Amino acid sequence: MRHFTFERAKSVDEAVKGGAQPEAAFLAGGTSLVDLMKLEVLTPLRIVDVSRLDLQKIEARTGGLVLGALATNTDVALHPEVRRRLPALAEALLSGASPQLRNAATVGGNLLQRTRCAYFRDLATLCNKRTPRSGCDALEGWTRMHAILGGSNQCIAAHPSDMCVALAAFDARVKVRGPQGEREIALTDFHLLPEQHPDREFALSPGELVISVFVPTTAAAARSRYVKVRDRASYAFALVSCAAGLELSGGTSGRIIREARVALGGVGTKPWRSIEAERALAGQPPTKDSFRKAAELLLAGAQPRRDNAFKVELAKRTMVRALTLAAEGA
């Protein structure tokens, strides 16, 4: 590990000041940063420990939930109001990592977690995300875990988060504070597509610290599910996952989708919300046929590579499954 300076921020303002310095990194739960520093994938010169800031609170307000940036994944997943008002988020969190990691990992850290692309994590290979314009060994490499949506000729690394998929589907907004003050960023704008600059992953300026996430809890959120398909029954990153929510109207015989929410994980270079699929579902009956059509639409632009063509059909089936479970209700 390289040398660095260490400071523990006593206030958000102090953290922002430290974080705005060159080559600074915020440390919260440490489950990503400490790991990547040991691999020397990340070599910050200045560590700003934000873990003792008073940002742990989870608040259930009328109309939505406020998740403090330092609330742990376990705390959010087990919160009774999260389970009741946004079950897909609780399910997404519980499907991620292991108990040990969920106890340490935070909301803010999960938003900022880096890809698990094996080439990004291996200094012996080329990676445009790690070293801009150096090349990408994934493009012609082993691509089983890589993205089929949102890639570029520079990068096809999949976004690893489960939590962010659920938050993307339900219009979450991220509150950040930086040297210029506070602002809100829609979760779907928070992560950037790789395009020609895969090293730029977040819509954040230097020093900006995640304070909290607000997620509106609508009727579709209350009727939401998260389905994750992976190589093992537990403790693995998604091959494909889907957060889905439905607001239905009408009686049991003639139900109609008033509003749909869909986002996919494991297939995109960022959490993959599809407004197009949601619009296609609105006004339709909640049947397998409607779900399949929306899934075909969402995956129409998929660009699979040598080892991950299976993800196209798997994503469609996973989406149909998540929507079916959502339609069935809790």
Partner 1 sequence: MRLELRINGSVRSLEVEPLKRLLDVLREDLILTGTKEGCGEGECGACAVLLDGQLVNSCLVAVCQAAGASVVTIEGLSSSALTPLQRSFVECGGAQCGICTPGMIVAGQCFLDSGAAATDEAVREAIAGNLCRCTGYTKIVESIQHAARETR
Among 234, 289, 307, 328, binds partner 1 (CB under 8 A): 234
What interhelical angle do 310-328 and 288-299 show, nearest 10?
Answer: 140
| Other residues' Cβ atoms within 10 Å of the Cβ of residue 43 | 14
Q: How far is the CB of 313 from partner 1 (least distance, A)?
A: 27
Q: How far is the CB of 237 from partner 1 (least distance, A)?
A: 12
Nearest to partner 1 of 37, 82 (CB atom)? 37
Nearest to partner 1 of 238, 280 (CB atom)? 238
Cβ atoms 267, 290 nearer than 8 A: no
Among 97, 117, 167, 314, binds partner 1 (CB under 8 A): 97
* Contacts for 222 with CB less than 8 Å, ≥ 6 apart: 84, 85, 86, 87, 245
Single out the residue of 283, 286, 281, 300 nearest to residue 253, CA to CA: 286
Report the alpha-carbon distance of residue 193 to residue 73 in Å, rounded: 25
297 binds partner 1 (CB under 8 A): no
Nearest to partner 1 of 91, 278 (CB atom)? 91
Q: Using CB under 8 A, which residues numbered 35 to 94 contact partner 1?
A: 35, 37-39, 47, 49, 51, 74
SS3 126: coil
Cβ atoms 273, 262 nearer than 8 A: yes
Q: How far is the CB of 328 from partner 1 (least distance, A)?
A: 21
Q: Using CB under 8 A, which residues numbered 2 to 41 contact partner 1?
A: 4, 6, 8, 27, 30-31, 34-35, 37-39
Nearest to partner 1 of 103, 284 (CB atom)? 103
Q: How far is the CB of 33 from partner 1 (least distance, A)?
A: 9
Nearest to partner 1 of 47, 158 (CB atom)? 47
Dig out the tokens for 186 from the structure.
Answer: 């829609």
Q: Using CB under 8 A, which residues numbered 102 to 131 contact partner 1?
A: 103-104
What percent of the residues of the chain are helix, what percent strand, and what percent coil, each to the nearest 5? 30, 25, 50
Q: How far is the CB of 234 from partner 1 (least distance, A)?
A: 4
Spell out the long-range contacts of 55-60 with Cβ–Cβ below 8 A and sequence spacing 24 or more: 55/12, 55/108, 55/211, 55/212, 58/82, 60/85
Footprint on this chain of partner 1 (rule: CB under 8 A) = 1, 4, 6, 8, 27, 30-31, 34-35, 37-39, 47, 49, 51, 74, 97-101, 103-104, 233-235
